[in-house]
Amino acid sequence: MTARGSGFRHVNSSVAPVPPERLKWDALLVALAILLFFQVWAVQHLFGIQAVHGVLFVATCVTLLLFALDRDSRRRLSSLNQPVVRAALGLLLLATLSIPGSLDPGNSLELVLQGYLPAVVLMLLVAGSVRGVGDLRRLAWLLIAGLTLYSVVTIARSWTNVTELNDRRWGGIVYSVNDLAMLIVSVSPLFLYLWRRPAGFWTRLLLTATAVFLTWTFGKAGSRGGFLALVAVVAYLLLRFRGLSRAKRAGVAVLVAILVVGLANSDLLEGGGVRENYFQRIQSLLHPSTDYNWSGKSELGRLELWKRGIGYVLDHPLFGIGAGAYQVAEGTLAPEARVQQYGIHFKWSSAHNALLQVGAEIGIPGLILFVALLVAAFRTLSRIGRGAPGETAFLAQALIGCLIGFLVANMFLTLQWSAYFYTLLGMTVGLAKVASAVHASAPPAGRVWRRSVAAPDRRALTA
């Protein structure tokens, strides 16, 4: 039966849908995977190949070249015209504008060229390379694999006395123990996403073993900010995660609690000896006034540091003190730094708060744009979580959990234009692109109308 003059024919809604294309690895995805391991997980530092000059730059250029040569219509940059991308590019512009008036112009220029610009490029490559939800699933696996590799190497080094486990730099590797705890919490919702998707016995066994190891590593890190981030992610799972029934959500929360109590409550190492166990350290959160971070306890405490940071924001409201110049401000502008003229050491501290760092370094407009970036990311994922089908919606909710874990922990850490954060943003933009293609190709509810000349493109519905 054909609708008169319409060019459409009515099809029974029970007709089977067009089978989805099964996505395969290609050269661009392989190059992107290598770039992620270099830029996010710093394998060149893990295995001592950082002496190979420009290895990260070469990996980025190769990935960009493969992306430019790709002719797949799903990999067009025009599909990335989204609020998240515009806000990220705006922040890059403001960071660049902060260079001339920076307290340390050379360091600010280096941070923009070697930190923020590569992070934004990575975000665009991740978002642009995604053809469907199958590629996003691969990215989730890559994040888990990279985090596990990084944790294995750093733990192995601590056992062989290359570095002590609670040394804040772990022998020169890029992430401190607080950073690592944040990353473990932030990646954890992806375990739930990959577990829920139809997976075989061996896949789930691998996920279980990896989760157990990372929980143990999380406890060894002894990070109080990481613990607060974990509480926030579990609360989101219980209250707002709609991909599972309430009973299953409660079961997952109980399982997380059991793993943390059973595996994380071990002794923390410092200076070659046992200092305290994990929960002894976490219990200090219940008595903040006894901690050195309490106001007036120490000029290096978080509250005193943040008070000085607010002063930097108010004194340099338009373009800030310069991208990456917070530590320079601590050593030159802080009233407490005057003791240096008498030969007394004063630590040049980083911001230890993502919002304060952005506001101080690139000004109040940058802080407003950074908040707008976060709002755009959460709104995008929330919209997908409510309206997209099946796996796409579940992944959107998992990414919300990832962002919550990252942001809560970074209220006590220094952001430094994190490549991992911009990978999450890239996955968010890529998922929005996929969801938009799915929505455009989906038939209306009830009757199904199909053009008599061609079926709609359903390639975005990938397995």
Predicted confidence band of residue 290 (pLDDT cuts 50, 70, 90): low
> How many angstroms separate the CA atoms of 359 and 203, rounded?
43
Element (H, E) at 33: helix 27-39
CA dihedral in degrees (237, 239, 244, 247; nearest 10)? 100
Q: Are 66 and 28 in contact (CB under 8 A)?
A: yes
Q: What is the DSSP string of 208-246?
A: HHHHHHHHHHHHHHT-HHHHHHHHHHHHHHHHT--SS-H
Predicted confidence band of residue 299 (pLDDT cuts 50, 70, 90): low
Question: What value does the mean pLDDT take over residues 109-129?
Answer: 94
184 versus 247: the higher-pLDDT residue is 184
Which three-class secondary structure state does DSSP give residue 283? helix
- Rounded to two decimals, what is the model's pTM? 0.84
Report phi then psi at 450, rounded to 5: -130, 140
Collect all residues with Cβ–Cβ distance below 8 Å to 273 and sequence separation of at least 6. none
Residue 161 has a pLDDT of 42
Cα of 39 vs its chain's centroid, Å: 13
SS (H, E, C) 328-362: HHHHHCCHHHHHHHHCCCCCCCCCCCHHHHHHHHH
pLDDT at 16 over 80: no
Number of residues in the chain: 463
| 238-242, 279-283, 296-300, 318-322: least confidently modelled range | 296-300
Nearest alpha carbon to residue 298 among 310, 287, 307: 307
pLDDT at 325 over 80: yes
Q: Are 360 and 351 in contact (CB under 8 A)?
A: yes
Q: Are 308 and 330 in contact (CB under 8 A)?
A: yes
pLDDT at 292 over 80: no
> How many angstroms separate the CA atoms of 262 and 132, rounded?
38
- Other C-beta atoms lying within 10 Å of the C-beta of residue 138: 16
- Other C-beta atoms lying within 10 Å of the C-beta of residue 87: 21
Per-residue pLDDT tens digits for 338-385: 767 777 777 777 888 889 999 999 999 999 999 999 999 999 999 998
pLDDT at 439 over 70: no
Nearest alpha carbon to residue 107 among 353, 360, 326: 326
Residue 265 has a pLDDT of 63
